[in-house]
Structure 1
Amino acid sequence: MRNFRAALPLAAIFAALTFPLPAFVAAQDDAEAGAVAAVQALFDAMAARDAEAIDALLMEGAVFTSTVETPDGVQVRETNGADFAASIGQPGPALLERMWDPHVMIRGPLAVVWAPYDFHRDGEFSHCGIDAVSLVLADGNWRISSIAYTVEREDCPPSPLGPPGN
């Protein structure tokens, strides 16, 4: 009987720590899915060339930073979100950006989505790379505060998504 009483507090502590876990895991999964969905919504808005939809996904002051390795070294370009949205909102070639295997890190209202991607213009492969997207949970919605990405034209791994349009 004494062993039972000694084990009871440990069992209570274990239960208290274990039973809320599924709710936490579900909430974390929902938050991760929401962050990835915000990034996908940006890609969808780019494909639709919808500047208003892009603006709605961005925090004020959002920054886009690209890096390209050249024989002269790494070239870095920065664009603010408003200029990016305006440029994409202009008529032009069909755009398709696809990501896969996103890795998501969340702490409170901050998230980072890191994913390989490929990019196509008018159905033709343009480049691949890594997207690193920082998001902020604002008014219950994930909004993009910055994107840094590599532009790689050679040695791109084949996309597990197959050719565009599949």
Structure 2
Amino acid sequence: MRKFGATVLLAAVATTTPAYVVAQDDAEAGAVAAVQALFDAMAARDGDAIRDLLTDGAVFTSMVETADGVQVGESTGAQFAASIGQPGPVLLERMWDPHVMVQGPMAVVWTPYDFHVDGQFSHCGIDAVSLVHTDEGWKISSIAYTRERDGCAPSPLGPPGG
């Protein structure tokens, strides 16, 4: 009887553990997909799509190191969406190797990125994106990012369009 009980317990653990892993993997993939959807909306210069991806109080914070110290810029999600939603140059932001942490309805995506304007390299850095899971899916509540023009390693994605 002991052998049967141990077998049932082992079978129960083996069948329940993958469900958690799958759920965690789905949550992580969903958070990354929300960040990619933001980049896609930026490329399309679609302010409405950007607004739909953000919480009402979303905040964007940029950091640039200069000879005078770190310069910090902040804008609301609404300001960002309005700015990007205007006609202008072609924007391309690409991420790779995202590190994702999920706990319940909260996720953080930390990823290197590069940014191109009209096909020309503009800058690189790190995006730290905080997300909240809502009834509508993952929504971005804040993005903090560095902007670096020099010392950027070549992207593992290769040149844009390449």
TM-score, with length taken from structure 1: 0.93
Q: Distance in 2 between matches of 1:148 and 1:84?
A: 13
User: When the two structures are aligned, how many residues end up with a matched partner?
Assistant: 162
- What code does the residue aligned with 2:41 have? A
Q: Distance in 2 between matches of 1:157 and 1:86?
A: 31
- What code does the residue aligned with 1:143 have? K
Deviation of the 1:12 alpha carbon: 3.5
**For residue 64 of structure 2, what is the aligned residue in structure 1?**
68
1:114 aligns to 2:110 (yes or no) = yes
What is the aligned counterpart of 2:35 among 33, 39, 42? 39
**For residue 22 of structure 2, what is the aligned residue in structure 1?**
26
- What code does the residue aligned with 2:105 have? P
- Structure 1 stretches lacking a partner, 5+ long: none
Q: Distance in 2 between matches of 1:7 and 1:78?
A: 62
- 1:57-95 CA-partner distances (Å, limit 9, x unpaired): 000000000100000111111110000000001111110
What is the aligned counterpart of 1:81 among 65, 69, 77? 77
Q: Distance in 2 between matches of 1:157 and 1:36?
A: 22
Q: Distance in 1 between matches of 2:43 and 2:131?
A: 21
**For residue 134 of structure 2, what is the aligned residue in structure 1?**
138
Q: Residues 87-166 of structure 1 correspond to what in structure 2 (within 5 A)?
A: 87-166=83-162
Aligned partner of residue 85 in structure 1, secondary structure: helix
- What code does the residue aligned with 2:122 have? S
- What code does the residue aligned with 1:77 have? G
Q: Distance in 1 between matches of 2:80 and 2:45?
A: 11
Q: Distance in 1 between matches of 2:9 and 2:59?
A: 46
**For residue 53 of structure 1, what is the aligned residue in structure 2?**
49
- What code does the residue aligned with 1:107 have? Q
Deviation of the 1:7 alpha carbon: 4.6
- What code does the residue aligned with 1:96 have? L
The percentage of counterpart residues that share the same residue type is 72
Deviation of the 1:9 alpha carbon: 4.0
TM-score, with length taken from structure 2: 0.95
Deviation of the 1:10 alpha carbon: 4.0
Q: Distance in 2 between matches of 1:135 and 1:14?
A: 36
Aligned partner of residue 143 in structure 1, secondary structure: strand
